[in-house]
Structure 1
Amino acid sequence: MATSADEGQLLSLLIKLINAKKTMEIGVYTGYSLLCTALALPSDGKVLALDISREYYEVGLPMIEKAGVAHKIDFREGQALPLLDQLIQDENNKGTFDFIFVDADKNNYLNYHKRVIDLVKVGGLIGYDNTLWTGSVALPDDAPMLEFIRGYRGYVIEVNKYLAQDSRIEICQLAVGDGITLCRRIS
């Protein structure tokens, strides 16, 4: 699922409101949210973009280049969890990201959270995409739904429950796009 236009606009505004300079995106897909992030950053801002496939990044690269923001992007290909573990090993990375957007494999959202919470600064934001999962998170378990939706539904419910009780963050879940949960790190 791609980031919706209204969600892209929201992310851009949030990045500007918090004066973000150092951001991260986990899961690039077509590059739309990456473009929105790069456009919202100041000229010296950076976004670390992680994706398992360089092909996904290259889909949006022509628009990123046309917009003149390719210099703000540090793309790294590979599984996000090992890349995050490498970042965490360097103490200088902890608490340095202003904004992190997660829109990758839903079955690893909780694993991502357990890592990115250490990388985002106190007062920084983490955004999780697709946290309403086409509304399936509010349906009974036996409700009819596509197998793709049913397959990841439990993981999305799991991360929603975890975020709701995580005392290190304040959360706001919005019905924008397919649902976005914003987490402001408070400790």
Structure 2
Amino acid sequence: MYRRKKSQKIFDGVDDPRRTYLLRLSLREHPSAKKLRQHLGNTSQDVSSDAAQLLANLAKLINSKKILEMGCSNGYNPLILALVLPSDGKLIAHVREAEDVSYARGLWKEAGVESKMEVKVKSEEQTLDDLLNAGESGTFDLIFLNLAGETNCRKYYEKCLRLLRTRGVLAIDGVLCNGAVLKKNALTEKVQSVQQMNEAILRDARVFLSILPLADGLMLCFKL
């Protein structure tokens, strides 16, 4: 009766030997990407390396030629995704004003993907609105949306879904809010926004979805 419950966590932190083992046997990291990850350390809000590789694998499987990265933090995930694009592919990377991709740019060039990149330093909403107003609806194969610090999640989801083509993939990072979505009271505006979006997507007949326990929760939405 008083026995301690067994932990439900998959891994006990990033240094868990089980996670190290899985990464050793599955992570195929480009040298430039590894260099960037090591340079960033734990200061970046980029998606984890295993999640980034999963997104790149999906992008390759659906023959992506056009990708939108919303909230690219410091440039790691855009690099991973750009590596699987064909030579005429394009990746639009939205960068928040406080983020610095100057070091990443050098490694994008080193990896031979700089010509595929287009960086937009604007607000999330302005970037999405500009693309929609330019007639880009239904043209993106894969969209990555980083919810770090966001309070307009459902609005961004709707706009991203409009930009995504049929059978495209919308990947949303941060849907667990470090576990705060489980709280019932005293929720911040950000957590409430994520909760409302999660519930809305569950009922959204326009997509199939899965939530994976990678990093802070990675939701994959497959547009029908």
Q: 2:219 is matched with which residue?
A: 181
* RMSD value, Cα: 1.8
| Aligned amino acid, residue 179 of structure 1 | G
> How many angstroms apart in 1 are the aligned matches of 2:159 and 2:204?
13
1:58 pairs with 2:102: yes
1:139 CA drift (Å)? 3.8
2:151 aligned to which of 107, 111, 121: 107
Q: 1:146 is matched with which residue?
A: none
1:90 pairs with 2:128: no
> How many angstroms apart in 1 are the aligned matches of 2:189 and 2:110?
37
Helix, strand or coil at the partner of 1:42: coil
1:8 pairs with 2:52: yes
Q: TM-score, normalised by structure 1?
A: 0.88
Specify which structure has the higher proportion of strand: 1
Superimposed CA distance per residue, residues 87-120 of structure 1 (whole angstroms, 9 cap, x where no aligned partner): 21233x1111000000144212211112111110
> How many angstroms apart in 2 are the aligned matches of 1:178 and 1:185?
22
CA contact (8 A) 1:54 1:77 kept: no
CA contact (8 A) 1:49 1:74 kept: yes
Q: TM-score, normalised by structure 2?
A: 0.74
Superimposed CA distance per residue, residues 31-83 of structure 1 (whole angstroms, 9 cap, x where no aligned partner): 11111111121221111111222742224222212211111111111112122
Specify which structure has the higher proportion of helix: 1
> How many angstroms apart in 2 are the aligned matches of 1:41 and 1:12?
9
| More deviation, 115-124/62-71 | 62-71
Helix, strand or coil at the partner of 1:19: coil
Larger relative contact order (Cα-Cα within 8 Å, sequence gap ≥ 6): 1
| Aligned amino acid, residue 101 of structure 2 | Y
Structure 2: unaligned runs, 5 residues or longer: 1-44
Structure 1: unaligned runs, 5 residues or longer: 143-148
Q: Greater Rg, structure 1 or structure 2? A: 2
